[in-house]
Amino acid sequence: MIENSLLRIGVPFAALVAFSIPLGLFMARVFNRQRTFLDPVLEPIERAIYRICGIQRSQEMTWREYTGAALLFGAASWLVLYLIQRTQYLMPFNPQGMTAVAPLLAFNTAASFSTNTNWQAYAGESTMSYMSQMLGLTSQNFLSAATGIAISIAVIRGFVRDGIRTLGNFWVDLTRATLWVLMPICVVLTLVYVWQGMPDNLGAYAEVKTVEGAPQVIAQGPVASQEAIKELGTNGGGFFNANSAHPYENPTPLTNLLEVLSILIIGAALTHTFGKMAGDRRQGWTLFATMSLFFLASCALAVWAEQAGNPKFASLGVDQRPLATQSGGNMEGKETRFGPIDSALFAASTTATSCGAVNSALDSYTPLGGLIPMFNMQLGEVIFGGVGSGLYGMIVMAVMAVFIAGLMVGRTPEYLGKKIEAREMKLVMLYVLIFPTLILLPAAAASVIKVGLSGIANPGPHGFSEILYAFTEGAANNGSAFAGLNANTPFYNLVLGFVMLAGRFLMAIPALAIAGSMAEKKAVPASSGTFPTTGVSFVVLLVAVILIVGALVFFAGDALGPIVEHFAMVNGKLF
Amino acid sequence: MARPKAPGLWSREIAGRAVVESLRKLDPRTLIFNPVMFVVEVTSALTTIVLIRDVVEGRHALLGFEVQVALWLWFTVLFANFAEAMAEGRGKAQAATLRQSRTLTQAKLILKTGEIKVVNATSLRREDVVMVEAGDTIPADGEVIEGVAAVNESAVTGESAPVIRESGGDRSAVTGGTTVISDWIKVRITTNPGETFLDRMIALVEGAERRKTPNEIALTILLTGLTITFILVVVTLFPFALYSSTKLDVPVLVALLVCLAPTTIGGLLSAIGIAGMDRLVQHNVLALSGRAVEAAGDVDTLLLDKTGTITLGNRMATEFVPVNGVQATELADAAQLASLADETPEGRSITVLAKREYNLRGRELAEHEAKFIPFSAHTRMSGIDLNGRSIRKGAADEILKFVQERQGTIPPEINAIVERIAKDGGTPLVVADGARALGVIHLKDVIKEGIRYRFERLRAMGLRTVMITGDNPLTANAIAQESGVDDFVAEATPETKLRLIREEQARGRLVAMIGDGTNDAPALAQADVGIAMNAGTQAAREAGNMVDLDSNPTKIIEVVEIGKQLLMTRGALTTFSIANDLAKYFAIIPALFMVTYPELDALNIMRLATPESAILSAVIFNALVIIALIPLALRGVTYRPVGAAPLLMRNLLIYGGGGVIIPFVAIKLIDMLITAAHLV
């Protein structure tokens, strides 16, 4: 059993290590505007885009301009998405005749997709026309992911540049992230997915008769193409409500592996991009190692919790042991094709990053199994994280770790030779503060007011977990649902919409501001008194800082949800 | 009075005054500068108000518990104030011993009319001129404008040997409180009362002028951020608890907040900073800003004058190298004759060497017809005309010219010898007797004992040392090799230092330098840490941001260590403070929800007796740990120059690991005590 788990976590992880390195180095070339093998095809397209949009590719932006551009682009994306949903009944590619999406739901969905969250308060197959899915949601899947990558590249430049006020050009980074990184990988993935049996068409839903002769409607559509970017861009918004548990979204073990891999790959690869651009690959490896430690630990814990099953069942005489013919463990809410291991691995991956795609119902996990995905997000989405946002979140954490390390060795702290001073600490603390505020305040409100409480499906601590989870995933721009909570209510649509927007854009501002102030500083050459930000001791410190920031803030809340539920379960009480 | 001794850590007098001070520091207007403790004070007040309400409304159920929580919360603030007051008290005590000497001094003020009027030293203003005669105490810092005197500076340096102070040159500055033991000097006062180094230092320690240093500000931001986060946690915990129909009371919520907030480091932060200044004073260094002390810990490059710092002040003759078949004794004899009137240390060392090696005694020159030729920068030689002989010693090219002018021949090997000596870092002096070149004297720089070890220590700390010397590159290189200095700049002029500092700073490095001369002043001002020697000129002392009363150039090592120690102590206590939170969570969270969720008792891993005893124990621990760590805050964490990574691991283990484990044990012990005493 252990061997089986090791193999099924080990293979995707090994593939992640193997593929993230070339991709990371490739991205460094793309954003340094060095030659790549895709240039002959893509450069003409790039030039055409710049000409049409009037972009000066050599024009550099200060951090303020860069942030302004990113915010402007986010606002425009949100508005366009809102309008598309509200007018989808007027537009073509609507064979099912979907009507306009309700205003608050449209607001929430627009916020969700423009922030790379892909929280789905709607059910795709019964709400969205193909036009809304493709032009609206899928294009945002690309653009919001590309925005994240662009911001992370700007943040990297801030640490790498020496005494320069600018961080690059947002429009150029956005275009290159889409054309060079996201598009080509998606084309390949789509083809593989279609080969594996995913549909990709624009036809009306099929109406068939089942063997018993009952009529059944089988929803379909451009699934494979949307599936590719769903994971690659850590978007997570499924074509179908069942997301990656749906056979059309995840038909085979190979697609399951590829989906897990593509969820993690860009977040992981960006660490190598960072190392390459910083001129010290070990810097990238250090962040990669830190992320990997958290990832593997969360996989192991989630698999352990789910495989152990529920003691209450044992007392009923249910055999939860894994055997040759059954996977054992907690099978509630899990697709039988995947079982506890692949489900827990998927859950850990999707919450380690800000993806949010799921292949099982997290609501039905054991308390500890459900705590792991929530805790992953509460750590600030820095374990590989959202494409881009994971890296800059991790860099902010590294700055904090460096500050503490500097104090411990008696030297004003430096990261990549840049001194960390009061201004940076102010921004770091702002970044660190925004996140729990976005989670705890609305969750506190929701747990006492009627409109908040009315959404929960289960009593007791489990219901509390549902509320806490909803705002955690919103602030973390994850979008995975703990289900159980009926979030398509005015209160949740509105509040979660704002939480998602703030979780994305409010947090990008301090990150870019740190980069801006770093870029202006002169790099100090390292001496033997400089604390090395590579190697085991720094990884240990970074892990400790991330754990402390996450655990100290959320321990009280988690104790009242999953933790108390766990001890209750041990005592034979379920919610 | 020798160097100011560090008062005993718990000196009764200082501690007594600190108790009073810690009450005065409760004033929220001053406490607001320490956001962490300000929050504790506000919430303590809130708890007290709730307590009074409960008394008035006659709710007696948990009154005893609430009273104790409120008391310990106030103690937390008071203990933090006490720590700060202790550090201030110790600083003041040290400064006071330095200042004492001055207050009773009388000064002989020279009026415009030339009359002398005896006034009180404290009434002297800048630009006043005073007469100081043998036996008088110099009334204030100033500059000698006339006269030469031997001054006993033991009052400030602890060094009993008198020093010469004279007008002009680099030895013109005098310090208030020192005593003239011979002759007289006229001193122009350079500071107004309250502006002397001592006054500035005392003001820094006393807090009136104490400003937060850059690192202190950054750390305060971190601590404030954490405190805000914990306020958020505690404030949202109330509705979270309501969800499960638990109504949490103000005192327990406040208890949780105060326990989670980084009160340990928040309470000790300013004490650590003041203690850093105190430690400098113990090393006889006066810092003119806390910023300078902090910068000292960060210094990357250290500029050192060769002379006096790396080498003993003077070159010494170590060898006579005869040429052209000349007997060594003849060379030694001529060299000694040429040096008999040479009062420079070099000259004296030649006489001594000739006496030691060749048993040549110094002769009474009065018997002979002797004419001394003193050294001049123009001729670059010195010597003696004696009984028709003209013996000269000096720079090789000048002496050889001297020989040629007298139709002498130049021995072919002499150039090779001169070159060899220069290459070894020595100074070759050629000796000639009229038209005959006799040989070469090898003058050598004597490297200070133990300097190599000190440089190794600096290197281990991550500092790069650069030697500055006016010597030629060959000589400089040899001395650099021998002393173990990292780099050197040869043929330097005073401007070289300034340029070098600017270059290093442009590369983002922090530079420290030590100087004493007036021409060092611009460089001292430019350097991030400029340590002026107390024996140096007034200009140098004004330009630097630290003054070393002992005038010991190697003192920089201690200064750097104190700077690093300051940061490390902050870092260690921050880590300790945050690590403590783990145990406090485990103590308080199960206690808060014991009624609603008895299952959470599984988290009560310390098996604390009752919810009340658990909360109270955590609060008591949180308050007492401040007191327990005052000695560490005042003494500082031990610094070891072992490189950054091992140092971090060590400190993480001690203060991070210790910070996790200690509170589990301590809270359990406190819980057992208060349960046994039936306090709750």
**Pairing mode, strands B436-447 and A418-419:** unpaired
Is residue A260 a part of any domain in this protein?
yes
**Of residues A408, A421, A567, nearest to B218 (C-beta):** A421
Rounded CA-CA distance A379/B657 in Å is: 21
What residues of B act catalytically? 305
How many Cα neighbours within 13 Å face the side chain of A16? 28
- Structure confidence at residue B1 (pLDDT): 35
Residues of chain A with C-beta less than 8 angstroms from the C-beta of B460: 528
Greater model confidence, A539 or A329:
A539
In which domain, by residue range, is A263 found?
2-278
Say whether A564 and B597 touch across the interface (CB within 8 A): yes
ipTM confidence score: 0.91
Average pLDDT score over residue span A124-135? 79
Rounded CA-CA distance A21/A24 in Å is: 5
Sequence-distant (6+) residues with CB within 8 A of A248 are A198, A199, A220, A223, A239, A240
Q: Is the CB of residue B381 less than 8 Å from the CB of residue B399?
A: yes
Rg (chain A; Cα; Å): 23
> Which of A308, A325, A193 lies closest to A259 in space, CA to CA?
A193
Rounded CA-CA distance A258/A193 in Å is: 9
Greater model confidence, B103 or A350:
A350
Is residue A481 a part of any domain in this protein?
no
Say whether B644 and A445 touch across the interface (CB within 8 A): no
Say whether B236 and A433 touch across the interface (CB within 8 A): no
Q: Is the CB of residue A498 less than 8 Å from the CB of residue A513?
A: no
Rounded CA-CA distance A54/A41 in Å is: 21
Cα→Cα distances A440→A120, A433, A437, B266, B574, Å: 21, 11, 5, 25, 25
Residue with tokens 């290189």: B477
**Of residues A407, A552, A559, nearest to B570 (C-beta):** A407
- Structure confidence at residue A188 (pLDDT): 95
> Which of B184, B140, B178 lies closest to B159 in space, CA to CA?
B178
How many Cα neighbours within 13 Å face the side chain of B528? 24
| E-assigned strand segments in B387-540 | 389-394, 426-433, 436-447, 464-468, 487-489, 511-515, 529-533
Rounded CA-CA distance B667/B584 in Å is: 8
B233 at A interface, C-beta within 8 A: yes
Question: Could you tell me how far CA A295 lies from the centroid of its own chain?
Answer: 13
Rounded CA-CA distance B516/B552 in Å is: 11
Average pLDDT score over residue span A93-115? 87
Least CA distance to A534: which residue of chain B? B645
The phi-psi region of residue A535 (left if phi > 0; otherwise alpha if psi is between -120 and 50; otherwise beta) is left
Residues of chain A with C-beta less than 8 angstroms from the C-beta of B243: 447-448, 453, 464, 560
Mean pLDDT lowest for which of A69-73, A360-364, B251-255? A360-364
Rounded CA-CA distance B416/A12 in Å is: 74
Rounded CA-CA distance A165/A516 in Å is: 7
Q: How many domains does chain A have?
A: 1
Least CA distance to B576: which residue of chain A? A408
Sequence-distant (6+) residues with CB within 8 A of B155 are B1, B101, B177, B178, B179
Least CA distance to A464: which residue of chain B? B243
SS3 B332: helix
Best probe of the B interface among A409, A416, A485, A569, by most B CBs < 10 A, is A409
> Which of A271, A272, A274, A66 lies closest to A157 in space, CA to CA?
A274
Say whether A407 and B568 touch across the interface (CB within 8 A): yes
B638 at A interface, C-beta within 8 A: no
Average pLDDT score over residue span A439-460? 88
- Structure confidence at residue B234 (pLDDT): 95
- d(CA B191, nearest CA chain A) in Å: 34
Helix H or strand E segment including A526? none
Please list the ranges in chain B whose pLDDT falls under 50: 1-5, 208
Least CA distance to A453: which residue of chain B? B243
Window B:352-381, CB contacts with A under 8 Å: none
Rounded CA-CA distance B507/B441 in Å is: 43
Is residue A135 a part of any domain in this protein?
yes
- d(CA B278, nearest CA chain A) in Å: 18
**Pairing mode, strands B179-189 and B129-133:** antiparallel
Say whether B509 and A559 touch across the interface (CB within 8 A): no
Is residue A267 a part of any domain in this protein?
yes
Is residue A157 a part of any domain in this protein?
yes
Least CA distance to B572: which residue of chain A? A408
Residues of chain B with C-beta less than 8 angstroms from the C-beta of A570: 599, 602
Inter-chain CB pairs, A–B, below 8 Å: 213
Best probe of the A interface among B599, B604, B638, by most A CBs < 10 A, is B599
Sign of CA dihedral A497, A503, A504, A510: positive
The DSSP call for residue B529 is E
The DSSP call for residue B381 is E
Greater model confidence, B159 or A514:
A514
pLDDT digits (tens, 9 = 90+) for A387-440: 889 999 999 999 999 998 888 888 878 898 888 989 999 999 999 999 999 999
Is residue A45 a part of any domain in this protein?
yes
Say whether B217 and A429 touch across the interface (CB within 8 A): no
Say whether B242 and A553 touch across the interface (CB within 8 A): no
SS3 B223: helix
Is residue A406 a part of any domain in this protein?
no
Is residue A9 a part of any domain in this protein?
yes
Count of C-beta atoms within a 10 Å radius of residue A25: 17
Rounded CA-CA distance B299/A437 in Å is: 39
Rg (chain B; Cα; Å): 34
Helix H or strand E segment including B7? none
Q: Is the CB of residue B140 less than 8 Å from the CB of residue B121?
A: yes
Count of C-beta atoms within a 10 Å radius of residue A442: 23
Say whether B228 and A407 touch across the interface (CB within 8 A): no
Residues of chain A with C-beta less than 8 angstroms from the C-beta of B458: none
Best probe of the A interface among B221, B461, B581, B640, by most A CBs < 10 A, is B221
> Which of A232, A139, A228, A177 lies closest to A46 in space, CA to CA?
A177
Rounded CA-CA distance B577/B571 in Å is: 10
Rounded CA-CA distance A345/A364 in Å is: 15
Residues of chain A with C-beta less than 8 angstroms from the C-beta of B463: 527, 529
- Structure confidence at residue B297 (pLDDT): 85
Q: Is the pLDDT of residue A317 over 90?
A: no
Q: Which two tokens stand for residue A411?
A: 């030297």
Least CA distance to B573: which residue of chain A? A408
Residues of chain A with C-beta less than 8 angstroms from the C-beta of B276: none
Residues of chain B with C-beta less than 8 angstroms from the C-beta of A432: 225, 229
pLDDT digits (tens, 9 = 90+) for A476-508: 988 887 767 777 888 999 999 999 999 999 999
- d(CA B413, nearest CA chain A) in Å: 46
Say whether B508 and A448 touch across the interface (CB within 8 A): no
Rounded CA-CA distance B128/A223 in Å is: 92
Q: Is the CB of residue B514 less than 8 Å from the CB of residue B309?
A: yes
